[in-house]
A and B are shown apart, each in its own frame.
Chain A
């Protein structure tokens, strides 16, 4: 287990460095942000002073070396826009997005499992058709439109929730509802498909004939085997949410990292952008590792070991193979 973790952390470090270097270079390719931070009629002298003060006239490699040196000392630079330490700004904003993303994902998974399983019980039945239509609609509706409509209907017309902001418990409802739609819609489709194939397996018939209740059949037997593909997709969707639900945060004034990142890009606030990307990338790598551990929990046949063995063809093992785990088959 620890060998596995160690190996994964090391192999995540390289893409992490590539991401940071990439963002660093690409951001600076957009030129000197002096004109954004100086008044419009700033003189040449002022521009030169600004450039020197922030080290933008050094060669790119020198700037990068300075930056990485700072990162190793946990110094991520200072925001051009606010003058605050970039690391502080990013760490302050991240938990808000994490809360939003965490609750949204949890709800999406729970609701998708319920609806998807229910739909799978009678393929092409009424529930299945309705849920199919609803889930495709949910996955397709643009979140920007949904957010504005939600505000208009529930906040202005009905007055049930605040329009935006983070002032009260009810202010969670609209942002989560809007952010929930796409993951929910996609996951329902996946769960439904996996459950349909799971429920047609012989062991399900055996369980039913032994007198197991429908709930037990679905949850304890079928669902566990259907969980792996759902976990893969849920992981990808969660990564998308962690990336910062930019639209939702912008519209609802949620003080998260998505809005911070988009503002830093538009304002060419390099330090904050780099810190935000670094933090997001680290979380995504951590999430991927957690998902891999999740596979191990789900299926006894999938265990990370140091010995590479021939894998058995199971849905979980196949998914795990995609993620390059070493699998020890059992007899």
Chain B
């Protein structure tokens, strides 16, 4: 028997041993039973309810701070749900719709005057007036908070905002800015009680919903704002969850656990429950046109001819994407409907490369395609196709897949300069609806994301930016045509579509803004 030889010195350790094993097992089962609730979560209130719409996002909003609302992961929850801007761009018509402001006009070269609604209160009861509007704009654009919307829409320029009276607001810019109202559509209005020294996680706004509860890590619930000035939305509550995997988000739709799923890919398994919609994203290769061999325009043209754009969209995206000829898709002011995508012509591409080679251009110098992992569905497959197709034109092309931070080092100034010629695969989304936002960054000589420009081109761009109406539209259309003929900094690939999963329990029609701004008020119960 095991116990017979134990000495007395060890005797005292015998009983605790078996007792402790028992205790361990008991603790283990307690763990199992008592915590049927997972730590870091609240118990669910139940399955579906006629008053609850359930939305699943690709990631948890890092914050709901309204001045960061141009970030997709924040804006998709905040914009026009919790907070509202003075004016809102209509994604279908491209026009600016009145929201918290009813009228606006340019009252000077650098001044705009807005007339505001007088029947609006914030969800905490404080009244909305010009003072609040001025405060919110000042906080977002002029302060030291480092708001994302400041850099995205206004750069270093400050605005001068004055509350003339309760319902009149004037906004002055440093230089003439015909699209100031469009820029202000990105500034969400918050009450004067909002912290100016730090960003807030849960904002107060004028929108149809307010934050009910945020279980950080698990889910976020909005509830209807009963003091909302406009029409009451159909759903009393909106519940947001997040799953990193597209297949899991699609599965939640097919299994009835969610009503809307954002950011799906074409073959994530949503099937008929996936709705395609144009999402304003354009994919292109940006070429370092000052580094050999990309410094010869024939090589850049060859790259354009070598890419089979229709083939890519057919094989990777089931034909849903549209081959692109410019940086902005249809619906953006400045889009040129007459521009055709470069033909797919390998013979022509090879001929151009050979011609350049004969002239002494070092076409054998390595060109590196740099692409970002998981930037959009099938990005790795697309990158491999591009490498292969460019190689068939006679170029020496390598592929480098990197993560976001490394990719940004190639994308933004100061660019990576010691790796030779780079063809950077970029995805550009013009949320704003005006070509100025794209060309300022990508086409001026000093643009934050531009690797090439010419003084003539710069002049054209500056001239266009101060025009209005039809003049503006045609000026930008000319700019895109000029880019394709004279500059060729880009090899455009396609205008993308996004996929939203929608269960049969709800009615919702996605538009080009849905990915950035999902208005819960536009979701209604089916039938």
Chain A residues with a Cβ under 8 A of chain B: 30-31, 33, 35-36, 38-43, 45-46, 49-50, 53, 81-84, 89, 92-93, 95-96, 98-100, 102-103, 106, 148, 151-152, 155-156, 159, 162-169, 171-172, 220-221, 250-256, 259-260, 266-268, 297-298, 300, 303, 330-331
Query: Quick one: CB contact mask for B202-234 with A, threshold 8 Å, 1 for yes?
Result: 000000000000001110000000000000000
Chain B residue contacts of A39, Cβ below 8 A: 70, 148-149, 151-152
Cα A14 to Cα B40 in complex, Å, equals 31
CB <8 Å contact, B62 and A92 = no
CB <8 Å contact, A300 and B146 = no
CB <8 Å contact, A41 and B448 = yes
CB <8 Å contact, B404 and A36 = yes
Within 8 A of A (CB), among B320-366: none
A155, A256, A260: the one contacting B255 at CB < 8 Å is A155
Chain B residue contacts of A159, Cβ below 8 A: 255
The total of Cβ contacts below 8 Å across the A-B interface reads 171
CB <8 Å contact, B7 and A253 = no
CB <8 Å contact, B40 and A268 = no
Smallest Cβ-Cβ distance to A263: which chain B residue: B59
Chain A residue contacts of B14, Cβ below 8 A: 300
CB <8 Å contact, B146 and A49 = yes
Since A96-B39, A156-B251 are in contact, a sample of 16 more A-B pairs with Cβ atoms closer than 8 Å, ordered by chain A residue number, is A41-B155, A41-B441, A42-B151, A42-B448, A53-B146, A92-B216, A93-B217, A96-B41, A102-B31, A106-B31, A164-B248, A164-B251, A172-B38, A220-B2, A251-B243, A303-B10
Chain B residue contacts of A155, Cβ below 8 A: 251, 255
* B95 at interface, CB cutoff 8 A: no
* B36 at interface, CB cutoff 8 A: yes
* B383 at interface, CB cutoff 8 A: no
CB <8 Å contact, A164 and B448 = no
Which of B79-87, B407-415, B514-522 is found at the contact surface with chain A?
A: B407-415
CB <8 Å contact, A40 and B412 = yes
CB <8 Å contact, B39 and A98 = yes
CB <8 Å contact, A40 and B38 = no
CB <8 Å contact, A83 and B199 = yes
Cα A219 to Cα B415 in complex, Å, equals 66
Smallest Cβ-Cβ distance to A300: which chain B residue: B10
CB <8 Å contact, A82 and B44 = no
Cα A36 to Cα B412 in complex, Å, equals 11
Given contacts A40-B412, A151-B251, A300-B13, contact A266 B403 (CB under 8 A): yes
A33, A148, A221, A253: the one contacting B241 at CB < 8 Å is A253
Smallest Cβ-Cβ distance to A224: which chain B residue: B2
CB <8 Å contact, A99 and B146 = no
Chain A residue contacts of B144, Cβ below 8 A: 49
- List of 10 A-B pairs having minimum Cβ-Cβ separation, nearest first: A255-B217, A95-B39, A167-B44, A39-B151, A39-B152, A42-B151, A41-B448, A35-B408, A166-B38, A169-B36
Within 8 A of A (CB), among B147-180: 148-152, 155-156
Interchain residue pairs with CB less than 8 A apart (6): A31-B405, A40-B448, A53-B146, A103-B31, A260-B217, A297-B20
Chain B residue contacts of A84, Cβ below 8 A: 201, 216
Cα A46 to Cα B146 in complex, Å, equals 7
CB <8 Å contact, B441 and A221 = no
* B242 at interface, CB cutoff 8 A: yes
**Residue in B38, B44, B152, B408 with the greatest tally of chain A CB atoms within 10 Å:** B38
A27 to chain B, nearest CB (A): 11
**Residue in B6, B40, B146 with the greatest tally of chain A CB atoms within 10 Å:** B40
A43, A99, A106: the one contacting B35 at CB < 8 Å is A99
Chain A residue contacts of B32, Cβ below 8 A: 103, 106
CB <8 Å contact, A164 and B411 = no
Cα A103 to Cα B149 in complex, Å, equals 45
Chain B residue contacts of A152, Cβ below 8 A: 251
A94 to chain B, nearest CB (A): 8
* B247 at interface, CB cutoff 8 A: yes
* B50 at interface, CB cutoff 8 A: no
Chain A residue contacts of B40, Cβ below 8 A: 92-93, 95-96, 255-256
Cα A253 to Cα B2 in complex, Å, equals 49
**Residue in A42, A92, A331 with the greatest tally of chain B CB atoms within 10 Å:** A42
CB <8 Å contact, B199 and A45 = no
* B526 at interface, CB cutoff 8 A: no
Chain A residue contacts of B198, Cβ below 8 A: 83
CB <8 Å contact, B63 and A83 = yes
CB <8 Å contact, A297 and B151 = no
Chain A residue contacts of B403, Cβ below 8 A: 266
B190 to chain A, nearest CB (A): 16
B16, B155, B254: the one contacting A156 at CB < 8 Å is B254
CB <8 Å contact, B152 and A99 = no
CB <8 Å contact, B405 and A268 = yes
Cα A50 to Cα B20 in complex, Å, equals 54
Cα A155 to Cα B253 in complex, Å, equals 12
Cα A133 to Cα B189 in complex, Å, equals 63
Smallest Cβ-Cβ distance to A298: which chain B residue: B17
CB <8 Å contact, B449 and A162 = no
Query: Quick one: CB contact mask for B1-38 with A, threshold 8 Å, 1 for yes?
Result: 01000110110011011001100000010011001101
CB <8 Å contact, A163 and B151 = no
CB <8 Å contact, B218 and A166 = yes
Chain A residue contacts of B13, Cβ below 8 A: 297, 300, 303
CB <8 Å contact, B404 and A266 = yes
B31, B43, B150, B404: the one contacting A99 at CB < 8 Å is B31
B284 to chain A, nearest CB (A): 15
* B257 at interface, CB cutoff 8 A: yes
Smallest Cβ-Cβ distance to A256: which chain B residue: B40
Chain B residue contacts of A254, Cβ below 8 A: 38
Smallest Cβ-Cβ distance to A225: which chain B residue: B2
Smallest Cβ-Cβ distance to A91: which chain B residue: B40
CB <8 Å contact, A41 and B152 = yes
